[in-house]
Amino acid sequence: MRLSRIVPLCLGLVFLMLFAGIITVAVANSRQYLEAQLQTHAQDTATFLGVALSTSARGGDVATAEALLSAVFDRGYYREITLKNNAGQVLITRSQMPLAADVPHWFVEALPLKAPAALALVMDGWRQLGQIEVASHTGQAYVALWHIALQAGALVGGVSLAAFVLAVAALHLALSPLRPMTRLAEDISRRRFGRLPQVPWALELRVVTRALNDMSVKVEAMLAHQTRAAHTMRKQAYEDELTGLPNRRSLMDRLQHWARSEEEFRAGALALVELSGFGAFNARFGRKAGDAVLREAAARLRALFQDAEPVILARANGAEFAVIVADADPVQAEALGARIVGALAVPERGGIHQGPIAVCVGIACTTSLSSATLWLAAADGALLRAHDRGAGYWQVEAVREQAGAAPPGAEQWRAALDTALRARALVLQIQPIRWLVPGLPEHGEALARVAAGDGTLLPAGLFMPLVREGGLARELDQQVCTQALARLRARPEGTETLAINLCVASLEQADFVTWLQASLQASPGLARRLIIELPERELLREVARLEPVLARIAALGPRWAVDRFGHEAAALALLRRIDLAYIKIDGSYIRGLPENADGRFFVQTLAGVAHGLGVLVVAESVESAAELDLLAGLGVDAAQGHHIGRPA
């Protein structure tokens, strides 16, 4: 409950108790006073009647005595008047019910007034003739007590209400700065760093406001420094300084990672693009002109593939660039060679046309990547044969895999995928993720599999190209979500969380988002145990449009995570734009980590930035005990890979 509600509630209770206390004291004192008055009134009347009746009683004049008692009783202030002889025999009595007009019955019952009978003797000299008993009527006393209660209640209640209203108004004015202060504190926890422009007049709140502003500035500066450090480290270790493209080290790390990962990449084309005669050009025009040529070549390649997905560009070595196009077949590879040669051969001022520079392209296609070395060797061989043909030529060759059973063709995979989606027979295998910090719930990732004709399960790296090509992302993601929720539903008392991978293309479709929201609303308890992973590159491209969608879905329970994190320079901005459960560092940074000092520093810096923003860090593709032993010391929170557990 908010402080703005707690304090008025407490004040209201205090004023209520104060009101009740004052009324109770006032009524109790008045009650005692009225009871004393009733007793005095009765005693005075009894004494008077005792004296007045002495004469009539001495002569035995009962009629005179009765007239006197009646005259006194009829005044209405008495409940009962009784005359008795010495033997206790009642001679005359008058009585009436002690009713209090215009006084609530509950008030009379709650506050009974004591009005005991007063006694007086009827004497003849020294001889007692009888006694008189008088009891006062409480009706008028109750009327007086009721009026006192009403007047005291009105006075105290009015004053209390006015004081309460003034106190609440003053409190509201004093606490009004707390609302923006609370919002700023929440924004800081969500990685949004603002300022409070107005300083409250209350000294204590003024101090807190200044502290919040200082904290926001310092935390933002600290995280900005860490972010710049991580970006600089990544750039120095994995980017070519001249062109800004990934360097050869980054290229080799990714190729070796893909060769051992069945989830991310299985087929495609690797093109090696060489600017022939670059050495002679450098010698003739100087290094500055040569650098300009390399930068222009990189810019043209970027422009050529800026809308293509998925394509990776890198500077392989010297005047040699690498272009990796996933899912490309030999026919598409031929077209790729023509596009590259055409893009780099267009003359532009101060560019590639100056001097004896020509373009040669060697392209190697693979349908089952099992060795990065074989793929590069095939591309190198194709580049040599393109040289033999002359400038402006390209050569396409297939990677010669080791002897063994040929992998299924694309048509077989497409048929298996169509069958699985139509029959809703998609298979989810769970790969465990081990937390390296205590206290977190059991966690695993659901990996989609498609059963081939021979019963083997095809990993995502084989059928995801067909999903993208055929526009089947929505159907696939619906089945993944349905099966994941069913798996969580089978363990209703569990606390484990489950991660699933969705395509960004699905979230761009309004009907899929509507379906997903309805499914999550139907199972709110399960939705809170679901984490949705999105690939870094696709998410970065569409984050501006997807932010409202991600916020609406997160409000229903699931949390977001970024998969294959670390290759895009702008990826660190995602940590502040989206409320993330964790980021998953791409496996190319993890493989061979014990021998890679720069990689260890990059992972540690990235973990520091993520933790500063309240985001956990998961390392994927952990394949050895040596890699696992390093991760906790680098600040990584969880590990996933075959060393932890295989999908099952």
pLDDT at 406: 44
pLDDT at 356: 47
SS3 assignment, position 91:
strand
> Which residues, 6+ apart, have CB-to-CB distance to 124 below 8 Å?
54, 57, 58
Query: How would residue 551 be classed by pLDDT, with cut points 50, 70 and 90?
Result: very high
Beta strand 127-136 with 118-124 is: antiparallel
pLDDT at 620: 93
pLDDT at 533: 96
Query: How would residue 349 be classed by pLDDT, with cut points 50, 70 and 90?
Result: very low
Report which of 501, 481, 571 is spatially closest to residue 238, judged by C-alpha positions. 571
Query: How would residue 347 be classed by pLDDT, with cut points 50, 70 and 90?
Result: low
Report which of 41, 151, 148, 140 is spatially closest to residue 100, judged by C-alpha positions. 140
Average confidence (pLDDT) over 67-74? 85
CB 131 within 8 A of CB 119: yes
Q: How far apart, in whole angstroms, are the C-alpha atoms of residue 288 and residue 12?
A: 80
In the chain, the domains with their CATH numbers are: 3-171 (3.30.110.200), 189-238 (no CATH), 248-398 (3.30.70.270), 410-639 (3.20.20.450)
CB 474 within 8 A of CB 512: yes
pLDDT for residue 453 is more than 70: no
What tens digit of pLDDT does each residue of 557-586 get? 999 999 999 888 788 888 888 889 999 999
What tens digit of pLDDT does each residue of 206-242 get? 777 778 788 777 777 877 777 787 788 888 888 999 9
CB 336 within 8 A of CB 363: yes
Quote the distance between the C-alpha of residue 631 and its chain's center. Answer: 27
What tens digit of pLDDT does each residue of 586-638 get? 998 998 899 888 889 889 989 988 988 889 999 999 999 999 999 989 999 99
Query: How would residue 262 be classed by pLDDT, with cut points 50, 70 and 90?
Result: low
pLDDT at 346: 59
**Model confidence pTM above 0.75:** no
What tens digit of pLDDT does each residue of 73-125 get? 887 688 898 988 888 888 888 888 766 678 888 888 888 888 888 999 888 77
pLDDT at 56: 67
Q: How far apart, in whole angstroms, are the C-alpha atoms of residue 638 and residue 620?
A: 9
> Which residues, 6+ apart, have CB-to-CB distance to 385 below 8 Å?
362, 395, 397
pLDDT for residue 70 is more than 70: yes
What tens digit of pLDDT does each residue of 480-490 get? 999 999 999 88
**Torsion, CA 190, CA 191, CA 197, CA 203, rounded to 10:** 70
Beta strand 559-565 with 530-535 is: parallel
The type of residue at 211 is: A
pLDDT at 549: 95
Which has more confidence, 88 or 354?
88
CB 148 within 8 A of CB 142: no
**Burial class of residue 485 (count of CB atoms within 10 Å of its CB; 0-12, 13-18, 19+):** buried
Both tokens of 267, joined, read: 């087929």
CB 333 within 8 A of CB 379: no
Q: Which residue has the tokens 């060679």?
A: 337
The alpha carbons of the chain give a radius of gyration, in whole angstroms, of 47
- pLDDT mean across residues, the chain: 84
pLDDT at 57: 60
Q: Which residue has the tokens 């895999």?
A: 401
Which has more confidence, 439 or 59?
439
| Lowest mean per-residue pLDDT among 24-33, 265-274, 408-417, 566-575 | 408-417
Q: What is the DSSP letter of 260?
A: T
Both tokens of 379, joined, read: 């591309």
SS3 assignment, position 261:
coil
Report which of 620, 636, 603 is spatially closest to residue 229, judged by C-alpha positions. 603
pLDDT at 401: 57
What tens digit of pLDDT does each residue of 282-323 get? 888 888 988 988 998 999 999 998 876 678 899 998 899 999
Q: How far apart, in whole angstroms, are the C-alpha atoms of residue 368 and residue 617?
A: 31
